[in-house]
Amino acid sequence: MPRYALKVEYHGAPFAGWQRQADQPSVQGAIEDALAKLEPRAHTIAAAGRTDAGVHALAQVAHCDMEKGWDPFRLSEALNYHLKPLPVAILQAAQVKDDWHARFSARERRYFFRLLTRRAPATHDKGLVWQVGHDLDLGAMRLGAAHLIGNHDFTTFRSSICQAASPVKTLDEITIEQVEGLSGREYHFHIRARSFLHNQVRSFVGTLERVGAGAWDPIRVKQALEARDRAACGPVCPPEGLYLAGVGYPEDAFGHT
């Protein structure tokens, strides 16, 4: 059975997350249903990461096994036809080796978070940003974020229902930029690691927002990290500003240079 990698974009609002669920809509379920229109049978796909309810993706990666050989472009076009009108799109498909795995072959995940600061309610970007009604101190947030870089026990920043075997992870990047957009001032968080704990990114951003608002001193982030106690974490921010922005592999399955 030939295996295909799929690069997937989706708007997370209508879904209960990536993972297939029996009684709620999911991104995985939507794609598996579309695959069943092409080859009528039960399909099971795997993804690089299981995003939560309301979280979006710019470039999620999944893989599927097909009974017949498909031209990758035709496979992506056929899936997009059957995914309508759901806000899910197959950006690209590529045939990969039989032992290639969207999750286990991945070497890094990249997340992107949009935080909008303005008093008036978001209209065009509603559901695509986390909005707060106060200004933030970019310098303070950067100072706080610097304490998170490196190999640490991230117990403080993991969900109580996290199923990861260990809370120890290596955070390779967390950068924050201030952007003056048409709809107002945004703060963009770029976060990169080989793997993440459940709710880790949203815990980071929610905590750093408290630093930017002046409620936390930047050094408190270090103290929270060292506490290894979920109770020391700042508030977990809502999911709508979070995007799975990309997944890195030893060799790009999609042929980009």
Positions annotated as catalytic residues are: 52
User: Quick one: DSSP state of residue 51?
Assistant: P
Which residues are within 8 A (CB) of 77 and not within 5 positions of it... i.e. 6 or more apart?
A: none
Q: Cα angle at 74 between 69 and 79, to 5 degrees?
A: 100
> Which residue, 218, 170, 231, 217, is CA-closest to 197?
170
Q: If you search the block for the tokens 């106690």, which residue do you land on? A: 229
Residue 184 three-state SS? strand
Alpha carbons 34 and 107: distance in angstroms, whole number: 28
Which residues are within 8 A (CB) of 18 and not within 5 positions of it... i.e. 6 or more apart?
A: 26, 27, 28, 47, 49, 50, 51, 60
Alpha carbons 162 and 146: distance in angstroms, whole number: 24
CB 102 within 8 A of CB 5: yes
